[in-house]
Structure 1
Amino acid sequence: MVNENFLTTRVDHKFSDHDSLFGTYMFDKTPYSAPDGLNNVLFTTLTSRQLVSVEETHMFSPRFANSIRIGGNHEGVNNNESLKAINPDAARTDLGAGGTAFAGRAAAQVFMEGVTPFTGGVGGSPTYFYHWNSIQAYDDAFFTKGTHSLKFGVTAERMLLNVLADTDPNGIWHFGTLQDFLTNNPTKFQGGIASTLSPRNLRQTLFGAYLQDDWRWRPNLTLNLGLRYEMSTVLSETSGKLANLANLPDANPHLGTPFYNNPTLKNFEPRVGFAWDPLTNGRTAVRGGVGMFDVLPLPYQFILLTTQAAPFFSYTAINAGPNLPTPLTFFTVPPEDISDNTLRSTYVQHPKRDYVVQWNLNVQQQLTPSLAAMVAYVGSRGIHQPFRVDEANMVLPTKTSAGYVWPFDRDPSGPPPNGNLGAPLDPLNTNFGSVRAMFYNGHSYYNALETQVAKRMSHGFQLQGTFTWAKSMDTSSATGAGDSFGNSISSLDWFDLKLSRGLSDFNVGRTFVLNGTWEVPSPKSLSGPARWALGGWELGVIFTASDGIPFSPTWGTGSDPANTNSSDDWAFPDRLGGPGCKTLTNPGNVTNYIKTQCFAVPSAPDLAFWNANCNPFPPSIQPSDPTLPPVPAVFPQCFNLRGNAGRNILIGPGLTNLDFSIFKNNYIRSISERFNVQFRAEIFNILNHANFAPPVTPDNTDIFDGTGSPTGVAGLLSRTTTTAREIQFAVKVIF
């Protein structure tokens, strides 16, 4: 259920020919509530926003003007609160994980391969509260002299972000398979210790200055020359509750400020553009430009890195295995759960200057008085972009001729029957369990061909068609926690960025959009009621067709089949060649969209490689009863070898959608010539066409479970990107 209250006002006043003032205020409050998928808990979200702005403009002379603008923005969000139990059992604390840290909490979340996640009891899901305040001031001056039009100014912004992020306060039980769940054999338990949670009050200031000259160099050629400087202070916290690992293997985090070295002090951004009329007839225009744009390290990039950092927040993770004194069973966290507490820390690797270079070139041609065409090339290159991973603390693999191989414990001297043989080695930093990391070595590329043909309104008819052929590639599409896409995978291979380079999560190869409006001619021979009934009609249409977005094949989620010994417990499979595998999807097949026959558990290239490198007893195939011998991996299966399937090599279903509208204009001439009461009927997705989203990650992208057996649900399309047919009626008064 959604309720929204929205208010906006604006006041303009002209004091004299030289001074004018305007002020605006906006208020928006939207509470939203919905049950979880199993109708156990009611989730609520509240978003409120207020914005105020005042601007004064003074004309010193016809050639010189100055505007001063000050404003403030407040946004408050209580996101994903689960305070009310629909099912009374969702509030029972005796169903919680228990133990020292989770006493008094309701049921934990449950994740398992191929099954819809259970969101847990009351208060169990990650919850996010923040209050964002921004105070801004701008001063812009405009000066004209001869063929030069100058614009220059300064800006300052103070950012105040008060945030509280509660992560998995009831905990999460992980099961490798449904059979593991039914036999009470969890693989891991993890959760945030709610008693260690405290708010963070983040502060940062931004300064900027710019100069731009639009120089009419020739009657048919204008040059746009500009330079901007923009910097931000290092992020701080009012109580000094910031922690950072200066280097990933460090035993202790660095506390307080500076949180990182400031990379923004030399952020000068040159920009050049032009507009050219080559035939000097006003019918042909060639435009282009190139510019540098800095991406400042603002608070949104560090929210979770700062709110969930040791020693100010504790997060425990317990892996099942021979090293755990008390068996790990569902509903029971062993008493030693916090003795070797896993602390979630942060790692920001010496930020570099993060910037994007953008360029474009377009040609526009007027074909007739009402018809024009345009063709353009647009490109960009991102450098030193944030590369965020949810888990950097892992066992580092070794690069071999067949790819990266994760090492394993070769000691058979432990408990029978095989000791520690096959177990993963220690991660990079044994002082911390999970380490969220932000690296600044990511990059991105975007290239696009854009075309447009537009017929402006004439004879009651308007039509416009656009086609874009684009390709966006990057090493990571999420720059901060919370802005990842539904098709994203959690943590990427930060130790070798070439492995993570692929299509962007948001890449759409081809897009075609056609929109048109037709003002139906009114019959001139009619009068009175008949003329009113048959006149004033207007039809509209919007047709969209596009390729799908990419996603990645995975396997073994929840069981760490590759022995990375990290909280990101999934792996890439091998991509196979052969007949039928040139393409990897079955368009139109909603139950088997992925060609699972084109993938396999990673395999050794030969027996010698298998004997030297491959783990014969990975934890993912160890039996639940330690007294039984494990089922060994068999040649050529090599669980601890990184598969050759890359990131985002699969393309999801495309989109086709048609929206239709019909308006009835009713002009009331007795009030005024332009007074119009317009009745509107808008039909969205009029053909009721189902546009499916890519398979859910990892539920329906996992091709195999942790034992290497097919999951049976890989490639299932269970979500749509557009709604079913919707009809909306409205009345609009225009005057």
Structure 2
Amino acid sequence: NNSLATILVPEAFIGGGSPNGLSFNNEDRWEFQNYTSWALRRHNIKAGAQMRGVHLADFSTADFNGTFTFGGGQAAALDASNNVVRGPGGQPVTVPITSIERYRRTQLIPLFLQRGLSQSEIRTLGAGATQFSIAAGEPEARVNQYDLGIFAQDDWQLRPNLSLGLGLRYELQNNISDHRDFAPRLAIAWAPGGDANKRKTVLRAGMGLFYDRFSEGYTLAARRFNGISQQRFIVSDPAILDLFPQVPSLDLLSQFAVPETVTRVADNLRSPYTIQSSVSLERELPNGLSLATTFINTRTLKLLRSRNINAPLPGNTLRPFGNVGDIFEYESSGYFKQNQLSVNVIERLKSVATLWATYVLSDAHSDTDSADTFPANTYDLSTEYGRSALDVRHSFYLGGWITGPLNLSFSPLVFYRSGAPFNITTGRDTNGDRLYAERPALASDLTRPSVVLTRFGAFDLDPVAGQTIIPRNYGRGPGYFSVNLGVSRAFSFGPESKVRAAAKRGNQNSFGRFFSRKYTMTFTIQVENLFNHSNPASPIGNLSSPLFGQSNSSAGAYGFGSNPAGNRRIEIQIYFSF
């Protein structure tokens, strides 16, 4: 039912009408690619081109019914009878309240009015919405987006034990002004000692530059909320908020001179690019054992983020572009760095089994996690640098392919990773940028009423000068463990294939036995999360939520197309081939 306004209590619940409204999406995608190669003595030259296009037609009435948001804050303490708790001097005692407590107090507004309190006095008690948003206008938006990539590379065999790879790629797309995306690549491989058939050690190194494309989804958002196709209003004026649960009309918003909120793409936006270098050492050991150690250094520049470029200036209510409303802009000002060390071991036990194990040690930092990441302070991005959401310190994989009795084939996979970081915020908009991205400070005075004690530390939700604001992604979530197992058995029947019969006539029995009969039936059982181990998702990081620090969803199962619930799932598959 989207005839009612949506009630949003962050990290607690969503009630009222549906915020999604009526929507549908139609995508038409095409791709053309061509690759050509030449073998010239010691050179293996490849060149090619790839061109892709997408036509996106998206119809959405999301938030046409309006949304009232109830965030946390600081308010007077209430006793069991909902009377103000006062200190020794008669002044109200203030305490941090959660988002759901604000909503509860909003339900008490009729009681407060009966007691003769004004709307402003009721707000000091922590009752009433903290934000209202609504959209209107043309529901449909369309995007045509194309990108082109051309490349050439040369694999040059300098010596029997030394090869060099050189490459250059150029990429181009519409809907952004960046057309300088050249990406060189270099790789070298050296096998010291021995002849061509007896080399046991290979040293590899490489460096390359890689571009990310600007998604058509961001272009769609900028076209939809350009202030012309659709109008979007995000309001924190108490005169509007006090109308709850009545939804203010667009005419009423115009009477209050409420400016629109628009989304746009920065004029100087560039495609994010990654400079990645690696070095690896591979060694073949006795008894079918091989070992590989790899170090990878990754740097990504021009990473995407969002920013309200017309937020109030620090310390006052003035805005850089005047009172024209909030301007949410996609820009490429972010940075990411990562170092990874991996060790991979493979054991080949002839035709019986192949076992492998991989351990990865990683360290990743950045000042944004995605194009939809907003900074806590629009005018100070230096405080955003911290652990990346990808900073999973330890990862371990163990798997293999095993042939067992009765011609059964087993493919186990064990996966473990340590916890990923998550962001901790106050759940309040204290700087007027219409966002709830502010982070708390590390508490220096535990007696302050704005201090909240958690298992992640003591935080001050109302920082004062001199306090240290916590870095982005300060918290670290739970780890992840899962065991998957596949078991299969193939049955062949029917007449022998012509190839097998021909092999037998030539007395090539050792060769012919690898050819099956005409028909093959394969039975497979795939088990995800064999031991039904519970893997909670990242905890809620909103300090104004009653569920702060708790995981209220599953991290899902590991693997492509896996079960989002993360519980044990058994699939039985039958393949018939002929």
Scaled by the length of structure 1, the TM-score of the pair is: 0.62
Cα distance in 1 between the residues matched to 2:31 and 2:436: 44
Q: 2:290 aligns with which of 372, 388, 394?
A: 372
Q: 1:501 aligns with which of 379, 385, 391?
A: 385
Q: 1:172 aligns with which of 53, 67, 70?
A: 67
Q: 2:304 aligns with which of 354, 371, 386?
A: 386
Cα distance in 2 between the residues matched to 1:346 and 1:115: 27
Report runs of 4+ in structure 1 exceeding 4 Å deviation.
489-492, 576-579, 669-673
- Unmatched 5+ residue regions in structure 2? 72-101, 110-126, 447-452, 498-514, 557-565
Do residues 730 (structure 1) and 570 (structure 2) align?
no
Cα distance in 1 between the residues matched to 2:445 and 2:293: 40
Distance 1:191 1:145, change over 3 A: same
Counterpart for residue 508 of structure 2 = none
Q: Shift of the alpha carbon at 1:513?
A: 0.7
Counterpart for residue 112 of structure 1 = 9
Are 1:113 and 1:178, in contact at CA under 8 Å, matched by a contact in 2?
no
What is the 5 A alignment of 1:681-692? 681-692=525-536
Aligned pairs, number:
491
Q: Shift of the alpha carbon at 1:428?
A: 3.7
Counterpart for residue 559 of structure 2 = none
Cα distance in 2 between the residues matched to 1:670 and 1:595: 68
Cα distance in 2 between the residues matched to 1:578 and 1:660: 53
SS at match of 2:230: coil
What is the 5 A alignment of 1:272-283? 272-280=186-194, 281-283=198-200
Q: Shift of the alpha carbon at 1:571?
A: 2.2
Q: 2:252 aligns with which of 336, 361, 368?
A: 336
What is the 5 A alignment of 1:570-585? 570-576=437-443
Aligned-partner residue type, residue 129 of structure 2: T
Counterpart for residue 184 of structure 2 = 270
What is the 5 A alignment of 1:576-725? 576=443, 595=455, 597-604=457-464, 644-668=469-493, 670=495, 673-674=515-516, 675-696=519-540, 701-703=541-543, 705=544, 712-722=546-556, 723-725=566-568
- Unmatched 5+ residue regions in structure 1? 1-89, 91-104, 236-259, 398-406, 409-424, 482-488, 522-534, 580-591, 607-640, 706-710
Counterpart for residue 455 of structure 1 = 347
Counterpart for residue 91 of structure 2 = none
- Larger mean CA deviation between 568-577 and 721-730 belongs to 568-577
Distance 1:428 1:166, change over 3 A: farther
How high is the sequence identity, in percent, across the aligned residues? 20
Aligned-partner residue type, residue 648 of structure 1: N
Distance 1:730 1:141, change over 3 A: closer
Q: 1:543 aligns with which of 396, 414, 429?
A: 414
Q: 1:287 aligns with which of 193, 199, 204?
A: 204
Aligned-partner residue type, residue 538 of structure 2: P
Question: Which structure is richer in relative contact order (CA contacts within 8 A, separation 6 or more)?
Answer: 2
Question: What are the Cα deviations for residues 150-208 of structure 1, in whole angstroms up to 9, with x where unaligned?
Answer: 112334444433333443111101223233332354334533433x1243332344333
Cα distance in 2 between the residues matched to 1:363 and 1:326: 63
Q: Shift of the alpha carbon at 1:453?
A: 0.4
Are 1:503 and 1:649, in contact at CA under 8 Å, matched by a contact in 2?
yes
What is the 5 A alignment of 1:295-306? 295-306=212-223
Are 1:573 and 1:644, in contact at CA under 8 Å, matched by a contact in 2?
yes
Q: 1:186 aligns with which of 128, 131, 134?
A: 128
Scaled by the length of structure 2, the TM-score of the pair is: 0.78
SS at match of 2:170: strand
Counterpart for residue 426 of structure 2 = 555
Cα distance in 1 between the residues matched to 2:11 and 2:412: 41
Do residues 226 (structure 1) and 167 (structure 2) align?
yes
CA RMSD of aligned residues (A): 2.9
Question: What are the Cα deviations for residues 224-278 of structure 1, in whole angstroms up to 9, with x where unaligned?
Answer: 0111222223x2xxxxxxxxxxxxxxxxxxxxxxxx6x221x3222111112111
Cα distance in 2 between the residues matched to 1:595 and 1:368: 50
Cα distance in 1 between the residues matched to 2:529 and 2:240: 58
Do residues 137 (structure 1) and 32 (structure 2) align?
yes
Counterpart for residue 464 of structure 1 = 356
Cα distance in 2 between the residues matched to 1:117 and 1:131: 28
Counterpart for residue 121 of structure 2 = none
Distance 1:283 1:208, change over 3 A: same
Counterpart for residue 114 of structure 2 = none
Cα distance in 2 between the residues matched to 1:191 and 1:712: 23
Counterpart for residue 150 of structure 1 = 45
Q: 1:569 aligns with which of 407, 412, 436?
A: 436
